[in-house]
Amino acid sequence: MTSSFEWKLGHVILCPSTEELAQVAAEHIARSVSTELTHRPRFHLSLAGGNTPAACYRQLAVIPLEWSRVVLSLGDERCLPWGHPERNESLVRDTLVDPAGAGAARFESVPAELGAEEGSQQYARILTQLGPPNLALLGLGEDGHTASLFPGNPALALTEAAVPVHGAPKSPADRISMGLGWLQQAQERIFLVTGASKRAILRELSQGAPLPAALVGSAYWYIEESAWPGRVG
């Protein structure tokens, strides 16, 4: 059974397992899409990479939605060749777009095969036409990064909708990310956080550390119990 409470960075939904987290987060996304589509023509959903989001996408793929009115984008992408299995696009296609009705959605992939500079310029133009996400799904790195916005990286200071990222601490070093300001403009943000390895960074965030994940704005935080550090602010 989940529990929920407020903390410094928004609203926490504490989940007993990764499976339940994936399910309740998928239900949250589906509610947001359905609600917004009652009074707007389309819904812009920005997606994250990683194993935890993948489990959520598998749950979301079986929920009936008006996918033809949904635009999918990515919060970040690795600069790897088109179709590479480690691209976030490949994960989203395998878990959400190809298996179900989400194939009817418009999917704006990141042209990361062009490199960080040219690819980010092209993606920024696409995002500017779409407008900020109605909902941005985000992950949390053990260093406090989200999307591909890493602590201390110069990309944090850039103002474009999509920004080039160089010197990422994990390979590949070159990436493309939604800019911090663009994520701050999202109508709604959801973080998915699992695993005991995230306890330390969640405690830092609760203590006010100005890390990228804290800078994007108030969010819903779906957190597995094993990741929660206990009583924090």
pLDDT tier for residue 98 given thresholds of 50, 70 and 90: very high
pLDDT band at 218 (very low <50, low <70, confident <90, very high): very high
pLDDT in tens, 58-84: 999 999 999 999 999 999 999 999 999
In this predicted model, what pLDDT tens digit does every residue of 13-23 receive, in sequence order? 999 999 999 99
**pLDDT tens digits, residue range 40-60?**
999 999 999 999 999 999 999
- At residue 1, the pLDDT reads 87
Strands 43-47, 3-7: pairing is: unpaired
pLDDT of 233 over the 50 cut: no
Has residue 232 got a pLDDT over 70? no
Lowest-confidence segment of 33-37, 102-106, 162-166, 173-177 by average pLDDT: 102-106
CA distance 25 to 28: 5
Q: Is residue 137 predicted with pLDDT exceeding 90?
A: yes
What own/partner pairs with CB < 8 Å and gap ≥ 24 does 8-12 have? 8/205, 8/206, 8/208, 8/214, 8/233, 9/205, 9/206, 9/213, 9/214, 9/218, 9/219, 9/221, 10/189, 10/218, 10/219, 10/220, 10/221, 11/218, 11/219, 11/220, 11/221, 12/221, 12/223, 12/228
pLDDT class of 231 with cuts at 50, 70, 90: low
- Indicate the CATH number of 3-227 among 3.40.50.1360, 3.30.750.200, 3.30.342.10, 2.20.25.650: 3.40.50.1360
Residue 1: both structure tokens together: 């059974």
